Amino acid sequence: MSDTTTTPSQGDELAELDRRHLLHPWTPSGVSEQLVVVAGQGCEITDSYGRTYLDGRSGQFNATLGYGNKRVLDAIQEQAGKLMTYALLGASNEPAVRLGARLAELLGEPLTRTLFCNSGSEATEAALRIVRMYHALRGNPERTTIISLADCYHGTTTGATAMMANPLAWTGCGPRPEGFVQIPSPFPPRDPAAAQDGEVPGAEALEEAIQEQGADTVAAFFVEPVLGVGGIRPLPSGYLARIREICDRHGVLLVVDEVTTGLGRTGAWFAHQREGITPDVVTMAKGLTSGYAPLAAVTVTEEIGRTFSGDPMLGGLRHGHTTSGHGIGTAVGLTVLKVIEEDGLIEHAATVGDRMCRALADRVGSLDGVREVRGQGLLAAVEFTSFELGMQVQNACRAAGVVLRCEGPVLAVSPPLVVTAEQVDRIVEAIREAVLAHAPSAS
């Protein structure tokens, strides 16, 4: 690890500058003792006071290779010295070309055409425009309605927040765009009294929504294989296959959001591949560069990609950004995928992830104050009976040297793919000890 020597005065200075000058995304203002990270190595991070922690959240699900990976750092230096980037507007650059080809190999036909962007939210926005323009170019401009799950999270841009039922995403931000419909998520309600005869909403909710809107007005259904901000909830087995059949029957495009789950997080290259289905559009970000550079991607089928050549205004896709397919970012992406493959991290994530999920279920799942433990690969959740208990556990784990993140009453557990079995055990035990100390029966 590079020199991370700090002093209390430096830590205090950074904390004060942080309070005065930064707006933190999705963070209450005035949080005391904000964690200011100054360095990292492997699965560990060091804060501005010189304290070291095991990062059980991978930054924000994105630091899949951990910190200080030499192969990635060398790739950044090499590409920056050769060509930092060249815009893809009317031109191209080598790493973007090669990364697009590699993603086509990993996803398999017919998913062969990729648009690069900079974040998961941008990928969602691009996918929205792509599916609507696709239908318009095919002579169906009335197909504009977007359907999503009520508990979804697809980003914080305007279109992405319009997909969400949670008012936290859009209250106070002006009128919401039209053309967005939410359906019930396929999970039992958290309040058993809210269930009707014990029924759990399933894929028929999509069928009903399409029929209610009129199939000839629906453009696409957006879905996460594992709901992220919605509680780290894997979709029930068979759900994706059923909605694939419904979308096919009604001419609706299926967009699978792999921003959090893609590139190994669930123990597969892509979570939808575990269900054996092929989407029309796949979005990805986070693990694509392991956090070493901003990069996201939208991959579409060959048939969708070809359609844009018929656009009467341009003869191509009317969307993109100056840094779409940035040379350094795509060079990083290529290297990250190579490291994942050569180091066997897909298999490692499946094996160690199974160990983590089993240990959480066995060691934490039955404790007072814990409602449920669930997960897939190295993406798990401990849901508590209250938000207050979740925050107490998060803070206690941090005091014990393990950084995690609580979203509402759900504690997300998502260490880097390079995490060891011993480190997983440490995370689980930190959570267990924190719950035992703070659960209602402990007081």
Going by DSSP bridges, is the β-strand pair 44-47/37-41 parallel, antiparallel, or unpaired? antiparallel
Mean pLDDT to the nearest integer, 202-231: 97
Q: Does pTM top 0.85 for this prediction?
A: yes
pLDDT of residue 9: 86
Fold match, 8-68+344-442 / 72-342: no
Asked if pLDDT for residue 206 goes beyond 80, the answer is yes
pLDDT category at 198 given cuts 50, 70, 90 is: low
Domain locations along the chain: 8-68+344-442, 72-342
Choosing among 3.30.1360.120, 3.30.450.40, 3.40.50.300, 3.40.640.10, the CATH entry for 72-342 is 3.40.640.10
pLDDT digits (tens, 9 = 90+) for 12-65: 999 999 999 999 988 887 666 789 999 999 999 999 999 999 999 999 999 999
pLDDT digits (tens, 9 = 90+) for 77-104: 999 999 999 999 999 999 999 999 999 9
Diameter of the chain by CA atoms? 69
Burial 46-80 (b: 16+ CB within 10 A, else e): bbbbeeebbbbbbbebbbbbbbebeebeebbeebe
Least reliable range by pLDDT among 17-31, 243-257, 272-286, 289-303: 17-31
More confidently predicted of 46 and 193: 46
Choosing among 3.90.1150.10, 2.120.10.30, 3.30.300.10, 3.10.20.30, the CATH entry for 8-68+344-442 is 3.90.1150.10
> Which CA distances in Å does 111 have to 20, 104, 215, 285?
46, 6, 24, 16
Average pLDDT in the chain: 94
pLDDT of residue 265: 98
